[in-house]
Amino acid sequence: MDARPSQRVGVDVLVVGGGATGVAAATTAARAGLKTLVVERYGFCGGGAVAGLSGTVCGLYEAEETPREPKKIVFGFVDDFIKAMEQRGGLSAPMLYGKTWTRVHEPLAWRDSADALLMDAGVRISYHSLAIGVHRNGDRIDGATIWTKGGLLDVRAGLTIDASGDADVVAMAGLQTYCGADGVVQNPTMIFRLQGVDTQRFKAAYGADTILPPEVSEMIASAAESGYALPRTKIWLFETTRPGELLCNCTRVRGADGRELNCINADDFTEAEIQGRKQAREYARFFKDKLAGCEASWLNDTAVQVGVRQTRQARGTALLRNEDVVRGSKFTDGVARSPWPIELHAGAKPRVSWLLNDYYEIPYGCFVPERGEGLLFGGRCLSAEHEAVASARVTAQCFSYGHALGVAATVALRERVEPRAIPGAAVRDLLNRQGARLDG
């Protein structure tokens, strides 16, 4: 029972989740004149990029064997976001990342940019709000019940977009979901910021590549003999837009019983947070003791929450297959493209499988539920095989997914058709008209 008063809210589009996908979807729908509400459990947008401190806009650039200069191949809404970030001084120049490039963002600038884009488009924002149930009429989703501090919002929507990252709305509606490979998902990670670093000395010692060289991996591997507990040897350290700071992606968070933790399980999520903070302390101690330029460094902060790579995914009318990523498959109904490698984070040394001088496309059906009307979903919960999602879940692509979902929602509501009745090729055409450049 909840004795607090409830409020009835009617909108055209309800977006659950304010990460890259949610921000892009809500802004795109509102720009088209649709009455749009985005609900977000934190007091800011950003999802895994900000709360999880993933810290980089990955997936923008083509990979090649010997990278010489960045070749950007992802366009559309992400360009609006890049412009907003650059205006706030919150986005680095492209940095070398193995065989490709990435850009590091400043989390406060991300929050401010999202606020500005949503408000300028006329989106209603409800922070500190959580979807706790759906309104289902047969196979149709008509909105959701939203928990807030002041009471429940009874939101009725013409179309609902699940951008929760964990397919929360899809699962609450009882529609088909699945987790990883036979229930085994990629492990979470606790990303942290290291301050007080002499970044010039650091780069002079270890190079410009944000994936640190084998000599550092060897140092980490032998550190156990000196009393350090460092479960992952291949690490990624990024210079940020703040002076003297490194963004550190290096932890390997597993359960005490050796399991890969699944963060839709409350006990697993809690264990990941506690273990993640312990590991962050240990890696920061090792960096201070052993790495050039880090002698005066300190652990500035960890992410607000552990970074989640994979949990529950929704079953769509299409499935992005592992071989699609490896082969660079293209589709007539492709609504997003990705050049990003498959990253599998099992073991002490993550495996990265590169797609060189090419990209693959993600079909529209990967965001349309296999069953259920009035609903679209996107983000890392897209319909994809286990290894494929290890490539398709990164930030630039999530912006593209949201752009496509916003366009599809606009078509569905204006033409009074269900999302599954919309040809993906038509969504692709409209995206191209809005600068996505999927055909060029």
- What is the three-state SS of 39-57? EECCCCCCHHHHCCCCCEE
> Domain for residue 112, yes or no?
yes
Residues 169 and 251 in one domain: no
Instruction: Tell me the Cα Rg of the chain.
Output: 21
Our measurement of the distance from residue 75's CA atom to the centroid of its chain's CA atoms, rounded to an integer in Å, reads 17
The reported pLDDT for the residue numbered 346 is: 53
DSSP 8-state secondary structure symbol assigned to residue 36? E
Helices (H), 150-309: 168-172, 199-206, 214-222, 266-290
Backbone angles phi, psi at 232, to 5 degrees: -125, 135
Q: Which of 302, 328, 353 is the last residue of a domain?
A: 302
- Tell me if 173 sits within 8 A of 134, measured CB to CB: yes
Residues 381 and 422 in one domain: yes
In order along its 440 residues, the chain shows pLDDT tens digits of: 889 999 999 999 999 999 999 999 999 999 999 999 999 999 999 999 999 999 999 999 999 999 999 999 999 999 999 999 999 999 999 999 999 999 999 999 999 999 999 999 999 999 999 999 999 999 999 999 999 999 999 999 999 999 999 999 999 999 999 998 888 888 899 999 999 999 999 999 999 999 999 999 999 999 988 999 999 999 999 999 999 999 999 999 999 999 999 999 999 999 999 999 999 999 999 999 999 999 999 999 999 999 999 999 999 999 999 999 989 999 999 999 999 988 654 555 455 688 899 999 999 999 999 999 999 999 999 999 988 998 999 999 999 999 999 999 999 999 999 999 999 999 999 999 999 999 97
* Cα within 13 Å of Cα(248), Cβ side: 33
Number of domain units in the chain: 2
> Domain for residue 338, yes or no?
yes
Residues 33 and 167 in one domain: yes
Task: Take residue 235 and report the two structure tokens written for it.
Answer: 């690490």
> Domain for residue 92, yes or no?
no
Q: How far apart are CA 433 and CA 125, in angstroms?
A: 27
- Tell me if 409 sits within 8 A of 161, measured CB to CB: yes
Our measurement of the distance from residue 246's CA atom to the centroid of its chain's CA atoms, rounded to an integer in Å, reads 20
Domain that holds residue 265: 192-302
SS3 321: coil
- For Cα atoms 263, 265, 271, give the angle at the middle one, nearest 5 degrees: 65
> Domain for residue 98, yes or no?
no
Residues 238 and 280 in one domain: yes
> Domain for residue 36, yes or no?
yes
- Tell me if 367 sits within 8 A of 10, measured CB to CB: no
Task: Take residue 395 and report the two structure tokens written for it.
Answer: 């930030």
Residues 256 and 347 in one domain: no
Q: How far apart are CA 19 and CA 27, in angstroms?
A: 12
SS3 131: strand
- Tell me if 436 sits within 8 A of 403, measured CB to CB: yes
> Domain for residue 94, yes or no?
no
Residues 80 and 161 in one domain: yes
Residues 287 and 157 in one domain: no
Following DSSP, what letter does each residue of 286-313 receive, concatenated? HHHHHSTT-TT-EEEEE-SS-B----EE
Residues 128 and 246 in one domain: no
The reported pLDDT for the residue numbered 190 is: 98
Residues 12 and 145 in one domain: yes
Going from the C-alpha of 338 to that of each of 21, 207, 395, 433, the distances in angstroms are 15, 27, 10, 19
> Domain for residue 101, yes or no?
no
Residues 347 and 386 in one domain: yes
Q: How far apart are CA 231 and CA 370, in angstroms?
A: 39
Q: How far apart are CA 250 and CA 248, in angstroms?
A: 6
Pairing of strands 7-16, 36-40: parallel
Residues 357 and 256 in one domain: no
Residues 322 and 414 in one domain: yes
The reported pLDDT for the residue numbered 1 is: 83
